[in-house]
Structure formats: C-alpha cells, structure tokens
Amino acid sequence: MKKLKFTKMHWIGNDFIVINQKDLDKENIKLTKDLVQKMCDRNFGIWSDGIVIITEWEKTKFKYHMFNPDGTEAEMCGNGIRCYMKYLLDEKLTTSKNVDVETGAGILNLEIDEKNIVTVDMWKPMLEHKDFPQNKWKIKSADREFEYMAVSMWNPHCVIYLDENIWDFDLNKYGAEIEKNTKFFPNKINVEFVRKISDTEIDFRVYERWAGETLACGTGACASVVAGIVSWKLAKNKEIKVNLKWWNLYITWSWNLEDSVIMKGEAESVFKWEYFIK
C-alpha cells in the first residue's frame, strides 16, 4: 500500500488536490489518467475539480501542472495557480511573496500580500486561436441561438453575455451542448454565461470543458472581462468585480492585446491527508 501526501485547497469554491512532485517520486507513483479520475471522484476518491502538481527545481523556480477530473492536462487554471502560490508559502518552499511559475501558458508572475490576496499576471488574451478556428459569433444550442465571443487565456473560452438573470438560467442544458461542439471548437471549450450589472461589475457562471459546471473559473472570468471590454460593455483600465455564486473576483485589463490581464483573489487550504494507493 502506497501513501501519497496531498493538500486540499480551494479558491471561491473551485477546489483542487495539490501534490508536491517530490512526494510522487518518493513513493514511485505515476499520475496516470486513471489515477487522476479516481482521486477526483466524489464517491471513490477525494472529490476535486482537478489536481495541481508542484515541481521545484531551484529555490526560486517552480513549474506548474494541472489535470482535469477526466485525467486530461490543462494549460493553466486561474484558481489553481492562486492555490499554488499559497501552497508554496504554507509549505515553506519559498519565502518570497513574488515568484515566477512556468505553466503551459508560459511563465506567470504571482504575488501574495499579507491578507492572502494573490495577484496573478494572467498574460495576454488572444482573440484568434487554433482552438476556435471558426469564430462565427453566433452559435445554436438546444432551442436557442446565442451571440458569443471566443477568447483564449491559453485555454479556450466561449463568452456569452445575456440580458436575463443568469442564476436562474439552465446552464447545463445550453452549456453542455456548446462545450462539445467540436465543429466550432475542435478541442471542446469552456462556456461562460455573463450578465452586465454596470461597466465595472458582472455576474458570472461557467460550464467547464471536461468538468461541467464549477463554482468558479479564473481564466473564464478573465476571458469574460476581456470580451466585455472589447465589446464596449465594460470599462478598460478599471477593476471589474466578477460576482460568482458565493464569492467575488477582481480583474483589470487595458484593452491592448499586448497587455496582460491582472487577476486578484484569495486562496485557502482546507486540510492535509494521505491518499492510499494499492
């Protein structure tokens, strides 16, 4: 029986199993697709929106890997990367409150303050990408047609602004069909449904590819703000309050595609334990 140490963490309800690569190596455990699925499973595992792996090769240099509940690897996850920063300090892997982390989306800068607010340079958004080669602006799902904007935050997002109350909206009905529309989105896509409250505030829900509805998605919130600014719905160079189901997130962008999107939010550790592997 092998024992794998892990920490359960979350930010705004988006929860992760965080593992140090050294603990995988120590127990000679390979994180296979099947193992990821079992660990994330609600009934037979720990239950999580994904697994984040911490790799350290020097005291001030770190690498980030994140796996979805179905075992596929994601390029980046905005909420996962904040948990990553909190883990580095909690486990004393660094004493610096400003670090660079290599991800599938490039090297991202993370900074944390005394109130555990993590500021992440989410890098530049992209309005053209291989993940949405047919950016047609309109898409059908079930009995409705939606206007959308596709935005890549190094993972693809289909952002849909609605004039209705999104908390009563049937997200699973419409989101699931759009997520798997490989004619428009060959690698599937994350789907965001957004309502503008003011030019500095939005309501936000997300149907994540390979995971279904989650309580939050950092890259999705960034993509939604980018889409809102590009379409003149939201203010540029101002902090946009993103209302999630239970928490808030704060995002700023300039409108310049050469400028990074800046995201702020907290991260929390829930518990530490060991996962038993036969």
Catalytic residues: 77, 217
Q: Which amino acid is at 220?
A: G
For 73, other C-beta atoms within 10 Å of its C-beta total 15
Half-sphere exposure of 165 (CA within 13 A, CB side): 2
* Tokens, residue 8: 């359960």
Tell me the residue ranges of DSSP E strands in 24-180: 51-58, 61-67, 73-74, 98-103, 106-112, 117-121, 138-141, 144-147, 149-152, 156-161
Please state, in angstroms and rounded to a whole number, the distance separating the CA atoms of residues 191 and 205.
Answer: 9
For the CA atoms of the chain, what is the radius of gyration? 18
Using alpha carbons, select from 6, 7, 15 the residue that is nearest to residue 247: 15
β-strand partners of 138: 147
β-strand partners of 109: 100
Phi/psi at 4 (5° precision): -110, 120
Q: Do the strands 138-141 and 156-161 form a parallel or antiparallel pair, or are they unpaired? A: unpaired
Per DSSP, the three-state class of 146 is strand
Tokens 């609605």 appear where? 162
